[in-house]
Amino acid sequence: MSQQLRVPFGTISITDHSKHLMEEILAANRVSSGRYVRKLEDEFATLIGIGQAVAVSSGTDADVLALATLHDFGAQRGDEVIVPALSFVATGNAVLHAGFKPVFVDVDRRTLNIDPTGIEPAITEKTRAIMPVHLMGKPADMSAINAIARQYDLYVVEDAAEAYGAVYKGQPVGTLSDLAAFSLYVAHILTTIEGGMVVTNREDFAEVLRSLRSHGRACKCKECTINTTSKYCPKRFQGRGGEDIRFVFERIGYSCKMNEMEAAIGLGNIESYKDTLDARRRNLVYVLKRFGQFSPYLVTSEESADETIGPHAIPIVVQEAASFTRASLASYLERSGIETRTLFASMPTQCAGFAYLGYELGQFPNAEYIGTHGIHVGVHQGLGLEEMDYILATLKRFLEEHQTQ
């Protein structure tokens, strides 16, 4: 047996630049959302290659606000949003929190993403948007999804939480739709520890987003004079009858602003983003190229010629030919020092919170299969090819011990 290594699922990078910025913020005694959050938004938009970025307090809030924006553009409460059955539960939760009803569509077992052939049959007169998820950083089939959206006059909102560095037909994920939501959670490629970002090329969407994150108030300038400079704002008392527009509320809103300390961590991580992404891609591609040796018992994602998978993690799905369970595999990996995570579940039929919607087990066979047979392991920048070789060697040893050849 080879020497046991420790392969944690994730890591966190707090750079010296971030620490310096945090010292500046603490010295200024202004830690709520201000000029550093604005700077992070600008740098994030440039990084993604899009016009507008609006920072919020979590990736889930990014999903919620991206969808809630649609209420200002014709959507009504109780309208429907089509989402994949398989995702982290935040995707389905966000639809409900935004005031919509989730309508679930099964996924393709090979890609883990929404199956476009199931979208059109799920469309009704109440459908307002499609929300594809680029699960494990693998781009969804956006050409097919956008074609359906155009045909039925629907919005498309990307859940790009795990998809940093993902590219689809030459375009970065996050730029393929009306709005896109990213997570800045601690385990992700770009992090503020907690946090999220909504991106769009439409300024009218961005204005609504800035209002929504702060209780729906009428004060929604991209650069807030009060928050970033503490100076007098000539727009402040332009409400009806000279009212302070900071206390005029135009829509039902939320309270999910990002703070300055989080932004400082994000700004440091943007500086090291390319190195982080390259390290994680190197790890991911190394494993994907060698994973075929485990067929037909285990499979992972495959990268097609017209895409780049964002290196979030390595999905592993136990196949029908296997004589072992997911639980036995995960337990073996954990005992060998390799941390694992479940590869999510079928939200409508394997997550109790959605039971009231009336779906029944068996309606989403692919999502349900992944929900009982899938795990994922890390490829983060704190790991190298030695750890990737250790993951591969451990999987090989497991199969030799547990699978009849």
DSSP class per residue in 120-149: HHH--TTEEEE--B-GGGPPP-HHHHHHHH
Domain extent, residue 297, equals: 273-402
**Distance between CA atoms of 365 and 108, rounded to whole angstroms?**
10
- For the ranges 34-38, 322-326, 377-381, 391-395, the lowest mean pLDDT is seen at 34-38
327 and 182 in a common domain: no
Question: Tens digit of pLDDT for each residue in 343-367?
Answer: 999 999 999 999 999 999 999 999 9
Residues 255 and 293 in one domain: no
Instruction: Examine the domain organization and report whether 59 and 166 are in the same domain.
Output: yes
Q: Is the domain of 229 the same as that of 341?
A: no
Tell me the CATH number at 340. 3.90.1150.10
Query: Is the separation of the CB atoms in 67 and 98 below 8 Å?
Result: yes
In this prediction, residue 1 carries a pLDDT of 45
Query: Mean pLDDT for the chain?
Result: 94
pLDDT of residue 4: 85
Under 8 Å between Cβ of 14 and 268: yes
Q: How confident is the model at residue 247 (pLDDT cuts 50, 70, 90)?
A: confident
What is the C-alpha to C-alpha distance for residues 267 and 176, in angstroms, rounded to an integer? 24
Q: Are residues 50 and 150 in the same domain?
A: yes
> Number of structural domains, the chain?
2
Kindly state whether residue 4 falls inside one of the protein's structural domains: no
The mean pLDDT of 253-261, rounded to a whole number, is: 96
Among the candidates 270, 286, 313, a domain finishes at 270
Q: Is the pTM higher than 0.95?
A: no
Give the number of other CB atoms < 10 A from CB of residue 386. Answer: 9
60-69, 311-320, 394-403: range with lowest mean pLDDT = 394-403
Q: What is the mean pLDDT of residues 217-221?
A: 71
- One-letter amino acid of 219: C
The answer as to whether 10 is a domain residue is: no
Q: Which residues contact residue 43 at a Cβ distance below 8 angstroms, ignoring those fewer than 6 apart?
A: 267, 270
Alpha carbon distance 54, 5 (integer Å): 40
pLDDT score for 95: 98
Residue 2 confidence (pLDDT) above 70: no
Q: Which of 253, 270, 287 is the last residue of a domain?
A: 270
**What is the Cα–Cα distance from 381 to 313, expressed in whole angstroms?**
11
**Do residues 122 and 107 share a domain?**
yes
Mean predicted confidence (pLDDT) in 40-64: 97
Instruction: Identify the domain boundary among 224, 242, 270.
Output: 270
